[in-house]
Each structure stands twice: as structure tokens, then as C-alpha cells.
Homo-oligomer: A and B are copies of this chain.
Amino acid sequence: MKSNAVFKRAHNRCLNMLAKHEPGSHLRSELDLALDLHVSRTTVRAVLSSLTDAGIIDRDGSRRHLARPPTAEDYFPEAQTESVGDVVGRRFMEWILQGDCRPGELINCAELARQFSTSTSAIREHLTHFNHFGLLERRPNSAWVFKGITADFAMEIYEIREMFELRSAHRFAELPPDAAAWAELNLIEQQHHNLLEDIDERYSEFSRLDERLHRLVHDASQNRFVQNFYDVISMIFHYHYQWDKVDEKERNYVALHEHIAYIRALRSRDLDAIDEKCRTHLQTARKTLLKSIDSLRQPAN
């Protein structure tokens, strides 16, 4: 019925924690573990009980201790730790990107549910989600229309992104000097330099830095609509990085330099410089996305 992915994720993370301790050492209280693992104590108890059954922990009276170090076989496979929602979201994007559905086509919930081997309820929930992302449209008491990741989509998303990011960057520049964001910005810049030094090997780590930098800037907006909108961007990019690997190293190299210039402009608090560097970077990013979208259509023809 309901998957126990929450339990399995907590189980695996608990094993990670235990791996850092010596056999014989005592475990912390159930409440502490619950807070650490971001689950309820009920779930922690289920985990502890399964770890006890596996002989990994043991109890003397009311306290528990590590009986043996966990091994690779004690972990649940990665695939089982994904919640139904995440699976549907991922498979839906894959389905879109593989061109199984063309812009303008109607979406068949029942068919998708079958294909993703889940219930129509789960599908429906995610259709409303993607509706809000501008990828779908609901026809009143009728089917859903797939609008597609098209050039229009990219243009529209970038129009908003530019408005929002420029506004947020200005707010960022106005942050008091002791704001935590400045420290985070410095840290992010340092990581840009580190990445550049080893670009040949680690270029694919750029996407995570990209997300962190832009999210940091957007958060300065203090506006829930700006922040929510970044979720749309973030999702598109998450998949974009996976679907288009052409020239990835070169693209990331350019983007890293643009980021560094943007970060410096932010630190200078010079609004004109910020606008210029931000616009330059977003224009490059838009071009890249448009090119990738163009390439999306090719294989299916």
C-alpha cells in the first residue's frame, strides 16, 4: 500500500552514523536519533528494532550498543529508498525528455499509471505539480494537455528568471555585512576556484554549485513567489544537466567564470555591475538551454 521508503532511508542513514562508531559504544536516545534523521521516533524505533534483528545493535537493559560494524549488505538498495512521489516525478520527466509525448498531446493518466506501475492517484497528484511548472495544462473537466519543453517554454521561463534574479541580486547587495549569506557566497566562490583547478576531472560537479549560488541569491528576495519560482528553474536544470552532455565541460568552464564575475559584482555592491554580470550569465544559460531543447526534437524525427 504505502511504501516504507521513509523507514528504509532512515535505516540506511542510521547505518552510516553507526559506521563511525566503535563496537560496544552506546547509542544516543531515540529522540536524539529522530531529530538527527528527520523522522519520527516511531520510525527510529522501527529502524532500531530491525538493526537489532540483524545483530548490528544489541541491548543491555534499556540502553543499546553497537554489536558489530555494519556491512554493505545491511543497507537497503538505493532504489527502494525513493518515495513514490519522487519516483513518479523522475519517471515523468524521463518520459517527457524521451519524447514519448509531443507538445499538444493529451495525457492519459491511466496509461501513465500502468507504465509507471503506480496508481492513478499518484499520477494525478504529480500532474497538478507539473501544471504549476508550466509543462501541462488542465482542460476543464477533461484531460490534461502536455505543453512541452519547447523554445517558448525556455523564453518564458527566462523572462521571469531575469526579472526575479536581478531583483534578488539587488536585495542581496543590500544585505548587512554580517549576514550569513556573505560567508556562504565566499565559500561558494572558493569552491568555484577549487573546481576550476581540477576542471578536467570534476566538471560535472558544477551543477550543484550552480544550484547553490542561484538559490542563495533568490533567497535574498525574501519573497515566497520568487523562491517558489526557483524550484521550477531548479527542476528544469536538474534534468537539463542529465539530458544534454554535449560540450558539458566547456559550457561549465565558461559558466564558472561568469559566476565568479557575478559573485565579485555582488560583493562590490555596485548595482550596475551586478546587472551586467547577471544578465551576461543568464543570457549564456538561456542560449545553452535553447540549444539543448533544439537537440531534444532531433532524435524523434
Per-residue CB proximity of A103-136 to B under 8 Å, as 1/0? 0000000000000000001001100110010100
Kindly list chain B residues whose C-beta atoms are within 8 Å of the C-beta of A228. Answer: 132, 134
* B124, B159, B223: the one within 8 Å of A223 (CB): B159
Kindly state whether residue A48 has any CB partner on chain B within 8 Å. Answer: no
Kindly list chain B residues whose C-beta atoms are within 8 Å of the C-beta of A167. Answer: 159, 163
User: Would you call A156 and B223 a contact (CB within 8 A)?
Assistant: yes
Min CB gap A79→B, angstroms = 19
* Interface size band for A: 20 to 34
Kindly list chain B residues whose C-beta atoms are within 8 Å of the C-beta of A61. Answer: none
Kindly state whether residue A157 has any CB partner on chain B within 8 Å. Answer: yes
Name A232's closest neighbour in chain B (CB-CB).
Answer: B225
* B39, B147, B160, B224: the one within 8 Å of A225 (CB): B160
Q: Complex Cα distance A128/B121, Å?
A: 14
With known contacts A6-B141, A140-B38, A157–B125 Cβ distance under 8 A? no
Q: Complex Cα distance A83/B228, Å?
A: 28
User: Would you call B156 and A224 a contact (CB within 8 A)?
Assistant: yes
Per-residue CB proximity of A224-255 to B under 8 Å, as 1/0? 11101100100000000000000000000000
Per-residue CB proximity of A200-226 to B under 8 Å, as 1/0? 000000000000000000000011111
Kindly list chain B residues whose C-beta atoms are within 8 Å of the C-beta of A222. Answer: 156
Kindly list chain B residues whose C-beta atoms are within 8 Å of the C-beta of A124. Answer: 125
Lowest 3 A-B CB distances belong to which pairs? A156-B223, A134-B224, A132-B132
